[in-house]
Amino acid sequence: MIDRELREFLGRLLGNRRAQIGAIALSVIAFFSIFAEWIASDVPIYVRYQGSSYVLPAITRPDRFRDMRADQIKATLGPDDAALWPLLRVGPEAPTTDPPLRAASLSHLLGTDAFGRDVFARLLHGTRVSLALGATVGALSLLIGFALGGVAGALGGVWDSLIERLVEIVGVFPAVVAVALVRALERRPSLLSLIVVIAAVNGANIARLTRVLVLRSLAEEWAVAAQATGASPLRIAFRHLAPHLAPALAIAGVLAVGSVILTETSLSFLDLGVPSKIATWGEMLGEIRWGAGAPILLPPIIALALTVGALYLIADAIRKTFEV
């Protein structure tokens, strides 16, 4: 029964125009982020070097050609070596031979930034970081929020009070403030702490939503009858209620991904995000401190707007399809 209803809902969702537009836009953005090394990188896609072969060494062996430009790597290749290069031989980290803040050209489609790095390559690789971080932290936030909210709503009593107080304490701090506090306490800021803090803050909001939904559902007649037959509230919440809560939680999860991307961009802009050497949209926007103008700032702004807009279109389509 549930499988048939799920197929019907998915069919209606896929037929929604907003969902189609959002999915297409997000798919295009994800395509460029996944194949960033194939499009723009100063490291070959495949290289046979000094008797060893490497496939996508920028990912599999990031230390092998670190901080080397494409021309420097090519100069080290011997007569028996071979390399398959991407479409554009420019990477996101190593400075190019061109001066900083150079205008767009055939060799640099969006010009160079304040440090002489290729803006187009940094945009592609920054898209991967933002999407990967958003999806990972969004999923973790959903898992934390569903678990805490489900336990609080199902067990009630002391557990409900403890989890509710915990959620209120965590939720009172905006993610940017919470990360800033953790960064001040850390000796060596890490990506793990960033993920945990943002997931905790977003998970608190999802936990609050899940608790309300579980409490409301457990008050319905079928849930009361199930408890009268001996079914535990936890079993009802996590086994029987979960499919019915899926639409609302799916919306919360999609919105959480967009929230994480915006938060990470804000943190990277303030130099509190991922390590500064890694290309991100926020780090690119932060170059305004070094004299960057519209040619450097507009690409990440447009990419951010398209990504968040696509996510909100998908969330709205889910809401209309499931009538949440």
Give me the residue spans of the domains in the chain. Answer: 2-34+121-322, 41-103
Distance CA 165, CA 160 (A): 8
Q: Are 88 and 39 in contact (CB under 8 A)?
A: yes
Q: Are 57 and 64 in contact (CB under 8 A)?
A: yes
Q: Are 53 and 47 in contact (CB under 8 A)?
A: yes
Query: How much is the pLDDT for 5?
Result: 57
Distance CA 169, CA 162 (A): 11
Tell me which H or E stretch contains 82.
Answer: strand 82-84
β-bridge mates for residue 52, sequence order: 49
Token pair recorded at residue 303? 């990419």
pLDDT in tens, the chain (324 residues): 445 656 666 667 777 788 889 999 999 999 999 999 899 998 899 988 887 888 888 888 877 787 788 888 888 888 888 888 999 988 888 888 888 888 888 888 888 888 888 999 999 999 998 899 899 999 999 999 888 888 888 887 788 788 888 887 777 777 778 888 887 777 776 778 888 888 988 888 888 888 888 888 777 777 777 777 777 777 777 777 777 788 888 899 999 999 889 888 888 888 777 766 678 888 888 888 887 788 888 999 999 999 999 999 999 888 887 765
Query: How much is the pLDDT for 141?
Result: 92
Q: Is 79 helix (H, G, I), strand (E, B) or coil?
A: coil
CA quadruple 31, 36, 37, 38: dihedral sign: positive
Residue type, 83: A
Q: Locate the DSSP E strands across 185-300.
A: none
Nearest residue to 237 via CA among 159, 147, 150, 160? 150
Q: Would you identify the CATH topology of the domain 2-34+121-322?
A: MetI-like fold (1.10.3720)
Cα–Cα–Cα angle for 204, 190, 67, nearest 5°? 135
Distance CA 148, CA 196 (A): 15
Radius of gyration of the CA atoms of the chain, in A = 24
Q: Locate the DSSP E strands across 132-225.
A: none
Q: Are 117 and 278 in contact (CB under 8 A)?
A: no
What is the model's pTM?
A: 0.84
Distance CA 44, CA 68 (A): 11
Q: Is 175 helix (H, G, I), strand (E, B) or coil?
A: helix
